[in-house]
Amino acid sequence: MQAACLLDVQGAAGLDVLSRFFKENAEDDIIRQLADKWTRGLWEKHAECDAFVSAAAAKWEMSRLNQVDRCILRLGTYQLKYCDDIPAKVVINEAIELAKKYSGEFSPGFVNGVLDAIYKKIKSEADGKNA
């Protein structure tokens, strides 16, 4: 989530410092690799993730969301859409925990509602393709 915030501020220029950022903030090599993979994937797909968030949070423009919530929602959306190896409940629960720890009082419920709606849309689209 912190790396997503870094990219939210610095844009593509932030990609150059990701490896150093992860080395400084994670001791475990597997955690660094996963974080790097997810962050780079999120950056590559952030416009698509933003479209999901915007549709699910219809009354909120991305620019009106605080940075932490925006990045939590982007990361959660990316994981729901592109990380099939992570159960949706785990993604949503982790996002809620991040919101509890790093964001405002009402953010956990907001994050839960938005990601739940996004998950239902992604699942519905997948079910439609499999029919």
pTM for the full model? 0.88
Between the alpha carbon of residue 86 and those of residues 25, 27, 39, 65, the distances in Å are 22, 22, 15, 26
Is 118:58 a contact under the CB 8 Å cutoff? no
| Cβ partners under 8 Å of residue 41, min gap 6 | 78, 82
Is 123:131 a contact under the CB 8 Å cutoff? no
Tens-place pLDDT, residues 20-77: 888 888 888 898 898 999 999 999 999 999 999 999 998 888 878 899 999 999 999 9
Task: State phi, psi for 61 to the nearest 5 degrees.
Answer: -80, 150
The residue count of the chain comes to 131
Domains annotated on the chain, with CATH: 2-130 (1.10.940.10)
Q: Check pLDDT > 60 for residue 98.
A: yes
Tell me, what amino acid is at 63? S
